[in-house]
Each structure stands twice: as C-alpha cells, then as structure tokens.
C-alpha cells in the first residue's frame, strides 16, 4: 500500500456507545435506530489550470466533534460519548465537518476499500467505476442504508462543493444517472431499503470547478445502517 494511501486512510475510531434515535427512518410507522456507520476516505488531487502541484508536508488532523450524526438530520440519530474521527493525513490540512460513530466489529456494515484516491484537472469531470463496495450483512427483514459526505472536499485553504461529487450505487447494472452526495449537516439520503445480506458497488464521478486551485482535497463518504 502506498504511503499516500496509508496517510489517506480514515476510520480509526474510539469506542463509543450508539444510543437510540429521537426519530429516524421509519419501518411500517416505527422509528428505526442507527446500528452501524462506516466512512470511506475520498482524496481528490487537483491540478489547477496553469499550475503544477506543489506538495506540502503531511498534516495530521484529529477532530473531536460531539456529533448528532446527521447521517441523519436533526432528530435522526445521535451518538453518545466522545467518539473520535481521525481524518486522513494528506498533502494538506483537512477540515473535518462531521464525526463518524464507531463500528468496531465491522460485521453489520463494511466496505472492501477504506480509501479512494482520484486525480484530475480543474474544469474536468473524473470518474472511477466501482471505486468501492458497501456490504450490509444482516438477517433483518427490513433495513435502511443512508449515505452522505462528512463535509465539502477541502484542502488547506479552500474547498469545492460536495454535491460536485456524485455516486451511483448498484448491485449488477449501474443506474442511468448518478446522484450528487448530500453534505452534512443536511439530512443524508436513503440509498436503499432492503433485507438480509446485500452488497452494492459505488461508482464515483467528480466535476472539479474550473476555478479550483491546485491541492489535495479530502472528505469522507459516510454510510449509516438503520432498522
């Protein structure tokens, strides 16, 4: 594994208890509770127009945020304790907008890839097919999976809009169109309501604004499981 990818890895979480939600996704009129949550680190290396990348020293960023996991929205779920999201160390400092609650056993919800690195020029759209997979491993007859970004892709001094990052979640055949990610603290979106064990492939596409300066832009794609 490359040094950059190791620095990009996110998902080192302190143990914390997940508490019942105030009111979340519903199943037959009954509020669902958050059961597990994971984050996939997204690192987008951008070359600005007319400028070459200038590497900077890696800067570790640790954020302690008492998240009302708006994986969520106000009153969808909450996390007890002081769980900690350790953001990836990239070429630049990273601002972390949301904390991800721990999933220490990684048995209910997991991914085959902890970090995705994409490279592109400002003013272009870049894509990666099946950048990662998300698996729900449960015998529950009805569960809901939600997703969103922890914050806008951010470098040391600037960012670009999170909805410029789009995803296409599918099992066998990609959907006709991709959907922009919703960014915390807005209510994250339902990916699917299903049952039992399911695995979804996630295609990523990023439309990098023309005015984006050269830099390493980082965020986290967060997936939350409820039933």
pTM equals 0.70
Q: How large a percentage of the chain has pLDDT more than 90?
A: 53
Higher pLDDT residue, 174 or 23? Answer: 174
pLDDT (0 to 100) of residue 115:
96
pLDDT (0 to 100) of residue 104:
53
pLDDT (0 to 100) of residue 125:
98
What residues form DSSP beta bridges with 37? 224
Task: Residue 173: give the domain boundaries.
Answer: 3-226
**Predicted confidence band of residue 99 (pLDDT cuts 50, 70, 90):** low
pLDDT (0 to 100) of residue 174:
92
What average pLDDT is seen over the chain?
A: 73
Residue labelled with tokens 């996991």: 69
Cβ neighbours for 114, distance < 8 A, ≥ 6 positions apart: 9, 10, 11, 40, 41
Quote the number of domains for the chain: 1
Q: How large a percentage of the chain has pLDDT more than 70?
A: 61
**Mean pLDDT for the stretch of residues 100-104:** 55
Cβ neighbours for 99, distance < 8 A, ≥ 6 positions apart: 63, 64, 65, 66, 67, 69, 79, 83, 84, 85, 150
**Predicted confidence band of residue 92 (pLDDT cuts 50, 70, 90):** very low
pLDDT (0 to 100) of residue 119:
98
Residue 33 has pLDDT above 50, yes or no: yes
């Amino acid at each position: 594994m490359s040094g950059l990818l190791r620095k990009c890895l996110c998902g080192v979480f302190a143990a914390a208890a997940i508490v019942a939600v105030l009111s979340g996704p519903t199943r037959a009129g009954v509020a669902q509770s958050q059961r597990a949550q994971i984050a996939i680190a997204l690192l987008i290396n951008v070359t600005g127009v007319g400028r070459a990348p200038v590497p900077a020293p890696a800067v570790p960023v640790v954020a302690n945020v008492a998240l009302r996991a708006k994986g969520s929205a106000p009153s969808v779920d909450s996390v007890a304790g002081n769980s900690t999201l350790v953001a990836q160390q990239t070429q630049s400092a990273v601002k972390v907008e949301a904390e991800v609650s721990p999933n220490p056993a990684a048995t209910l919800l997991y991914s085959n890839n902890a970090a995705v690195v994409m490279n592109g020029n400002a003013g272009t759209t870049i894509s990666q097919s099946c950048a990662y997979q998300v698996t729900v491993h449960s015998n529950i007859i009805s569960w809901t999976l939600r997703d969103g970004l922890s914050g806008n892709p951010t470098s040391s001094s600037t960012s670009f809009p999170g909805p410029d990052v789009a995803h296409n979640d599918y099992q066998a055949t990609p959907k006709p169109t991709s959907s922009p990610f919703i960014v915390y603290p807005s209510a994250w979106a339902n990916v699917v309501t299903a049952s039992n064990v399911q695995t979804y492939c996630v295609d990523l596409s990023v439309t990098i604004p023309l005015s984006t300066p050269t830099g390493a832009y980082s965020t986290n794609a967060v997936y939350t499981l409820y039933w």
